[in-house]
Amino acid sequence: MIDFGYGLTPSSTLKIENVANPAFEELRQREPDVAKCIACGSCTASCSAGVFTEMSLRRVILSLQRGREKETLPMLQHCMLCGKCLLVCPRGINTRHLILSIGKVYKMEEDR
């Protein structure tokens, strides 16, 4: 087949029509405070790893809420669990513990 240089581009639209998100619900059971995130970005701003990598806890939480957990692993693997985000979170979320729980719920340990 001749390659004309054209192709179909997959839609980038977020489809959250199938709204059930059991993995996030499980995370919410384990870490109820994850629902308290107001996406202020303090965690990302203070993140030691985020300065050099794509790590952003705000973005991780949002991706999980939207059922896009695959996008979170490349971010989370840079986390050094320093806990600076925990100090700045205005909603008092135990972010360090949350990251560990995400690893457990989404079975990420073996990948780390």
Partner 1 sequence: MSQNVVVIGGGPAGIEASRRLRDLGYTPILIEKTPVLGGHLARWDRLFPEGIEARTVLDPMVADLDGIKYFTETEVSSINRLKDTWVVKLSNGLSAQVRAILLTTGFDLFKAEKKEEYGYGIYERVITNADLEDWFKSGAAPQFDAVNVIGFVHCVGSRDEKAGNRQCSKVCCVTAVKQACEIKEKFPDATVYCFYMDLRMFGRKYEDLYLKAQKDYGIRFVRGRVSEVSEDNDGHLFVKAEDTLFGKPLKIKMDLLVLMAGMAPAADNHQLARMVNIQTGEDGFYLPQSIIGSPCTSSREGIFFAGAATGPKTLPETLSEAASAALAIDRYLKTPQKK
> Where on the chain is the footprint of partner 1 (CB under 8 A)?
12-17, 19, 28, 32-33, 35-37, 39, 58, 62-63, 65-66, 91
As measured in angstroms, the least distance from the Cβ of 49 to partner 1 is 20
**Torsion of the alpha carbons at 76, 103, 38 and 66, rounded to the nearest 10:** 90
Considering beta carbons, is residue 29 or 111 the nearer one to partner 1?
29
Amino acid at 75: M
Question: 57-65 and 95-105 helices cross at what angle (nearest 10)?
Answer: 40
**In a 10 Å sphere around its CB, with 0-12 CB exposed, 13-18 middle and 19+ buried, how is residue 76 labelled?**
buried
As measured in angstroms, the least distance from the Cβ of 34 to partner 1 is 9
* DSSP for residue 53: S
As measured in angstroms, the least distance from the Cβ of 39 to partner 1 is 5
Considering beta carbons, is residue 36 or 111 the nearer one to partner 1?
36
Considering beta carbons, is residue 1 or 11 the nearer one to partner 1?
11
